[in-house]
Amino acid sequence: MSSFVVALDVGGTSMKGGLVTRSGEIVRTDRRATPRDRGPAAVIATIRSFIDDLAAAGGGPPEGVGLAVPGLVTAEAALYSANIGWRDVPATDLVPLDVPVMLGHDVRTGGLAESVLGAGRELSDFLFLPIGTGIAGATILQGEPYGGSAGWGGEIGHIPVFPEGEPCACGQIGCLETYASASAVARRYSTRAAASSPAAPGSPVAASVTASAAASVTAERVAALTVSGDPLATEIWGEAVEALSLALASYTLLLDPSAIVLGGGLAEAGTVLSAPLAERLQKRLAFRQAPPLRQAALGMSAGMLGAALLGWRAAGFADAGTTWSLDVLKSPRVA
């Protein structure tokens, strides 16, 4: 086959891998569990064998390897991740092959992919905001992700939107994430549904969802219940939207992005999120227009595709992706 890079998106739960050619063809995708509970050495060993297996499947050594990893990261090393538990892991420890390697921060690497290949293709300065189990953003400036003076930027999920609000797992008060992540929406709905049923039979919630069903609710379900007019879902969803509008108002006033690209599970709810969010964001911005909201284009593949761009950059092709066909968006997504 033609020359390729190995691309790996290392998440806390699973790793998404792929082989991507110079012209952007995704010739293979695969996924493995991240053995986080067995410690950082096991995660590193899994990364190494996954890369080896992908390279073998490609039929020869890759031109380069790109990896998206969580935490604090430089192009040459994974410096720290509370999630995975590693410290100061050089790229050469992660990659068992003697080929050029480039690392990137997971969310910012997804943002790079949206910038070069996805919803930000013709944008210069924007926010990429994936909303999933947690919330972190990638600030894209002149087409490239910006991580701050030391790489700790983008923590929009922990800005204090309600300063007297609910405690967040991070130890702070009223963080965006504790109201608006997919898991927060599910958790807050379940907690309140359980509290109001069956002890409070007059509650409108008790009529639609029992406490036991509520315990296993998903954010997707809360979105659907909101559309169908369920009062508790409408309230919880509304609070998530309000929290997002406050955080995005702050971001907009500080950084004047040309657009906000929403990704992750919650964004896939579509207009039940984007319509009220656009309205409330504009309400919070009295003297300027709100930037347009866009849906991310690359879905769960953003991190892997960004890692492919890093792999090609490591191999010496700084312009990787710019000539790739938009058909890349129609390529098979990571399963």
Residue ranges in contact with a copy of itself by CB under 8 A: 124-126, 137, 139, 141, 146-156, 158-163, 170-173, 242, 246, 249-251, 253-258, 284-288
How far does the chain reach from its first CA to its final CA, in angstroms? 22
Minimum distance, C-beta of residue 253 to a copy of itself, in the bound complex (Å): 4
Q: Which is nearer to a copy of itself, 109 or 208 (CB)?
A: 109
Tell me whether residue 234 or residue 258 sits nearer to a copy of itself (CB atom): 258
E strands in the chain = 4-10, 14-21, 26-33, 64-69, 72-73, 77-80, 87-90, 101-105, 126-130, 138-141, 144-146, 260-263, 293-295
Nearest approach, Cβ of 50 to a copy of itself (angstroms)? 30
Non-local CB neighbours of 157 within 8 Å, separated by 6+ positions: 134, 135, 136, 137, 175, 176, 177, 181
Encoding tokens for residue 243? 């929290």
Nearer to a copy of itself, 173 or 211 (CB): 173
Q: How far is CA 197 from the centre of its chain?
A: 34
Extract the tokens encoding 221: 């379900």
Shortest Cβ distance from residue 110 to a copy of itself (Å)?
17
CB of 111 to a copy of itself, least distance (A): 14
Residue 78 beta carbon to a copy of itself: minimum distance, rounded to whole angstroms = 18
In the complex with a copy of itself, the residue whose CB is nearer, 257 or 303, is 257
- Toward a copy of itself, which CB reaches closer, 291 or 321? 291
The CA–CA distances, whole Å, from 287 to 53, 240, 245, 250, 274 equal 55, 24, 15, 13, 21
Measured CA to CA, the distance from residue 263 to residue 111 in angstroms comes to 10
Closer by beta carbon to a copy of itself, 58 or else 157: 157
CA atoms within 13 A on the CB side of 245: 21
What number of residues does the chain have?
335
Cβ 232 to a copy of itself shortest distance, Å:
21
Indicate the residue among 139 and 274 with the shorter CB distance to a copy of itself. 139
Q: What is the C-alpha separation between 167 and 174, in angstroms, rounded?
A: 6
Nearer to a copy of itself, 35 or 160 (CB): 160
CB of 160 to a copy of itself, least distance (A): 6
Q: How far is the CB of 1 from a copy of itself (least distance, A)?
A: 40
The DSSP code for 291 is P
**Please, how many CA atoms are within 13 Å of residue 120, restricted to the half-sphere of its CB?**
31
Cβ neighbour number for residue 80 with a 10 Å cutoff: 18
